[in-house]
Structures are given as structure tokens and as C-alpha cells.
């Protein structure tokens, strides 16, 4: 198993905030934990505003939209999209859950997404 260590004196910093989509009426901000152990930089929170009128209802749909349309460097695991395999498990809004079965509308305010604790 691979071991990853955070840089010395590591703190999570604010990362890049992407522009709000033009003409968007219902926008939800997704704050996603990003860390590249090869870069030697501290982890960061990148913010992606998503137009909910142009996105399917689940958190996994928003992540796919971010990866396909905004930032192709975003990586995450997924497989069945039906809540069976557990591949898309992550911490969403402070709760460990599956991105494929967690509805965006069920989460008030900005949505924070980070890896499962101790993984």
C-alpha cells in the first residue's frame, strides 16, 4: 500500500476559485479538497460554482461535470452509479457517503468534498 505524507507544517489553504457560469440562476459552490503529493505543496480547497439547472441531481453528476467541463485534473473513483459498489465513497458535507446516491439538494449551503478520513 502506498503511503502519503503531507509536507512539514502543512495546512490546508484556499486554492483556485473558478468563475461562476454566465447566465446561471441557481448556483451551488463545490469546495473540493485537492492534494498532489508529488508537488510538495500544501493541500488546498478549490471552489467550483455549478449551475444546478445544467447539472443532474446527484453529487457524482456534479463531480463528472467539473471533470469534463472545468478541470480535467480532478480525479476520483466511481463505477456503478447505483450505490452498490462503494467506489465513489467520500466525505461530503461532513458525512461519509456515496457520491452517486447523495442528492445535491439535500446539502444546505456550499458543498465540501474530501477523501474519507484515514484513507
Q: pLDDT (tens digit, 9 = 90+) per residue, 30-88?
A: 999 999 888 888 899 999 999 999 999 999 999 999 999 999 999 999 999 888 999 99
The CA angle 28-87-47, to the nearest 5 degrees, is: 25
The confidence band for 10, taking pLDDT boundaries of 50, 70 and 90, is: confident
Distance of CA 75 to CAs 68, 89, 110, Å? 11, 13, 20
CATH topology of domain 46-119: Ubiquitin-like (UB roll) (3.10.20)
Task: Look up cell 452517486; give the residue.
Answer: 100
Q: What is the pLDDT of residue 36?
A: 87
- Predicted confidence at residue 40, as pLDDT, reads 82
Amino acid at each position: 500500500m502506498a503511503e502519503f505524507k503531507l509536507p512539514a507544517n502543512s495546512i490546508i489553504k484556499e486554492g483556485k476559485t473558478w468563475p461562476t457560469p454566465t447566465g446561471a440562476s441557481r448556483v451551488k459552490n463545490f469546495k473540493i479538497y485537492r492534494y498532489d503529493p508529488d508537488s510538495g505543496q500544501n493541500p488546498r480547497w478549490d471552489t467550483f460554482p455549478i449551475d444546478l439547472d445544467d447539472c443532474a441531481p446527484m453529487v457524482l453528476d456534479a463531480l463528472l461535470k467539473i471533470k469534463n467541463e472545468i478541470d480535467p485534473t480532478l480525479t476520483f473513483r466511481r463505477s456503478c452509479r447505483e450505490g452498490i459498489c462503494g467506489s465513489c465513497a467520500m466525505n461530503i458535507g461532513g458525512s461519509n457517503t456515496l457520491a452517486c446516491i447523495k442528492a445535491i439538494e439535500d446539502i444546505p449551503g456550499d458543498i465540501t468534498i474530501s477523501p474519507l478520513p484515514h484513507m
